[in-house]
C-alpha cells in the first residue's frame, strides 16, 4: 500500500489543517492509500523516509515559505529521499505572494530527488483562523483526487 504524507503548517489557526485533511479525503476517494496529515512542527525526520509520496503545505509567509517548512524541505534533502512524488499547496489570506513558486524552487534546490507531479493548489482563507469557503474545500478534495490518480498512473 502506498503511504502518503500531507504535511501542513498551521501558523495562525486551523485553515491549513482543514486544507490538508480535505486533500487527504480526496486522495482516499480515489485510492486505498494510507494518507497521514501531519503538522510540520510535530514531524520527526525518521518518519519521512517511511512515506512513498508527500504533499507539502505552506503557510504563506509573505514572500516565501516559513522557517518550519524550509527546515522540513532541507531535512528531506539530507536524508536522501528515493524520488517520492510530491506536490505543493498553500492557504493564503488576502494575496498570494508567490510562495508556491518559491517553495517548488526550494524543493528543486534542497531536495532534488523529490518529483513534482502535479501543479500546485492555492486556497484562500477568510481571516487568520479561517473559515475556508465550501467551494475551496471542494477544490482541495479535487486536488487530492488528481494527486492520487497521478500516483496510481506512476505505479
Q: Are 27 and 149 in contact, with CB atoms under 8 Å apart?
A: no
Q: pTM of the full predicted structure?
A: 0.89
pLDDT at res. 85? 92
Q: What is the pLDDT of residues 55-86, one digit of tens each?
A: 998 876 556 777 888 888 898 888 866 788 99
How many residues does the structure list for the chain? Answer: 155
CA distance 81 to 113: 6
Q: Angle, to 10 degrees, between the axis of helix 99-110 and the axis of helix 67-79?
A: 30
Nearest to residue 45, comparing CAs of 80, 16, 11?
A: 80
The full set of domains in the chain, from first to last, is 3-154 (3.40.50.360)
Kindly state the average pLDDT of the residues 105-114: 91
Strand partners, 3: 34
pLDDT at res. 96? 64
Strand partners, 7: 38, 56
CA distance 29 to 8: 20
Q: What is the pLDDT of residues 127-151, one digit of tens each?
A: 666 678 788 999 999 999 999 999 9
Nearest to residue 57, comparing CAs of 43, 47, 46?
A: 43
Amino acid at each position: 500500500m502506498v503511504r502518503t504524507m500531507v504535511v501542513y503548517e498551521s501558523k495562525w489557526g486551523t485553515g491549513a489543517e482543514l486544507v490538508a485533511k480535505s486533500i487527504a479525503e480526496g486522495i482516499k476517494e480515489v485510492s486505498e492509500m494510507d494518507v497521514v496529515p501531519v503538522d510540520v512542527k510535530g514531524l520527526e525526520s525518521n518518519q519521512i523516509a517511511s512515506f512513498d509520496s508527500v504533499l507539502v503545505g505552506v503557510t504563506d509567509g509573505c514572500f516565501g515559505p516559513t522557517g518550519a517548512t524550509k527546515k522540513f524541505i532541507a531535512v528531506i534533502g539530507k536524508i536522501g529521499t528515493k524520488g517520492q512524488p510530491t506536490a505543493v499547496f498553500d492557504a493564503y489570506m488576502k494575496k498570494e505572494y508567490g510562495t508556491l513558486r518559491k517553495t517548488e524552487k526550494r524543493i528543486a534546490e534542497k531536495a532534488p530527488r523529490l518529483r513534482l507531479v502535479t501543479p500546485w493548489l492555492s486556497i484562500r482563507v477568510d481571516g487568520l483562523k479561517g473559515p475556508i469557503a465550501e467551494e475551496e474545500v471542494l477544490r482541495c478534495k479535487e486536488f487530492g483526487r488528481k494527486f492520487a490518480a497521478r500516483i496510481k498512473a506512476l505505479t
